[in-house]
């Protein structure tokens, strides 16, 4: 069961606290068991901060707390705070997996429905796209997604079936099956009217609630064989 630890403190020296946390990350590289951390500042009290730290389990959190580097940094942290920080230990009983839901919206709303207005809601303006069908190592900008969706829809009438999703940290991997009818020009291939199927995996990396980067892996050769662009 996932485990959360809430650290509540007041400090007028947050910049020093921030540098201390960066130092802890460097010191515990390869040893820490925390998987995610978010720090929030109280809008009503600018000196009040809450950190939410995620661990895969309570046992992992205790292992993390037992690191010598953690103990040392904690002592320095207390010296920067106005009073002793308080800790709240939470067993996770419900996880909404908002990133997974956002990833699903691409496959269920944007791609098959062609609602390109949602792209600006879900994707960062400087989104980086990695696609095996493109020569460039990466293309940049949310307009890339709009152009790709429009191009694929011009060539195929299609929909996705999602087999599974895995989320870890800021990334979501979605395994999918794509079924389509070839009704328009595709990579110079005239429409065949054939029903085609392709499988693949897409990994989205999120930042500040939006999709910041994407990697696309799919069986393009299988698709090309189905439209008879390559010999069996």
Beta bridge partners of 177: 161, 199
Q: Model-level pTM greater than 0.75?
A: no
Domain 98-226 part of CATH 3.30.1490.100: no
Q: What per-residue confidence (pLDDT) applies to 146?
A: 94
Which CATH number does the domain 3-91 belong to among 2.40.30.20, 3.30.450.370, 3.30.70.100, 3.40.50.300? 3.30.70.100
Q: What per-residue confidence (pLDDT) applies to 95?
A: 61
| Pair type for strands 195-207 and 123-131 | unpaired
Query: Phi and psi of 7, rounded to 5°?
Result: -110, 120
Characterize 55-87 residue by residue with b for buried, 16 or more Cβ atoms within 10 angstroms of its Cβ, and e for exposed: beebebbeebeebebbeebbeebeebbeeebee
Joined together, the tokens standing for residue 105 give 């919206």
Joined together, the tokens standing for residue 208 give 């500040």
Rounded-to-integer distance, Cα 219 and Cα 232, Å = 14
Q: Which residues contact 47 (CB under 8 A, 6 or more apart)?
A: 10, 11, 12, 14, 82
Q: Hey, CA dihedral for 162, 166, 167, 172, is it positive or negative?
A: negative
Rounded-to-integer distance, Cα 222 and Cα 218, Å = 9
CB 72 within 8 A of CB 33: no
Per-residue pLDDT of the chain (232 residues; tens, 9 = 90+): 578 999 999 999 999 999 988 988 888 888 888 888 899 999 999 999 999 998 888 998 999 888 888 888 888 989 999 988 999 999 887 665 778 999 999 999 999 888 888 899 899 999 999 998 887 778 899 999 999 999 999 999 999 999 999 988 789 999 999 999 999 999 889 999 999 999 999 999 988 778 999 999 999 999 999 988 655 4
Residues of the chain with CATH 3.10.450.50: 98-226
Rounded-to-integer distance, Cα 93 and Cα 47, Å = 30
Q: What per-residue confidence (pLDDT) applies to 231?
A: 52
Residues of the chain with CATH 3.30.70.100: 3-91
The residue length of the chain stands at 232
């Amino acid at each position: 069961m996932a485990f959360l630890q809430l650290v509540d403190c007041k400090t007028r020296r947050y910049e020093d606290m921030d540098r201390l946390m960066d130092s802890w990350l460097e010191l515990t590289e390869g040893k820490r068991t925390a998987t995610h951390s978010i720090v929030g500042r109280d809008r009503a009290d600018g000196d009040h901060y809450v950190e939410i730290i995620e661990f895969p389990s309570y046992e992992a959190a205790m292992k993390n707390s037992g690191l010598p580097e953690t103990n040392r940094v904690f002592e320095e942290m207390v010296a920067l705070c106005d009073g002793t920080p308080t800790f709240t230990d939470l067993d996770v009983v419900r996880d909404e997996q908002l990133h997974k839901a956002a990833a699903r919206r691409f496959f269920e709303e944007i791609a098959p429905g062609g609602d390109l207005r949602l792209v600006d809601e879900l994707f960062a303006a400087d989104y980086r796209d990695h696609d095996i069908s493109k020569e460039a190592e990466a293309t940049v900008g949310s307009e890339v997604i709009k152009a790709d969706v429009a191009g694929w829809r011009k060539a195929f009438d299609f929909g996705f079936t999602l087999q599974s999703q895995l989320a870890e940290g800021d990334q979501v991997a979605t395994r999918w099956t794509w079924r389509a009818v070839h009704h328009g020009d595709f990579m110079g291939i005239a429409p065949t009217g054939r029903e085609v199927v392709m499988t693949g995996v897409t990994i989205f990396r999120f930042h500040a609630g939006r999709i910041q980067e994407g990697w696309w892996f799919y069986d393009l050769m299988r698709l090309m064989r189905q439209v008879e662009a390559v010999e069996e």
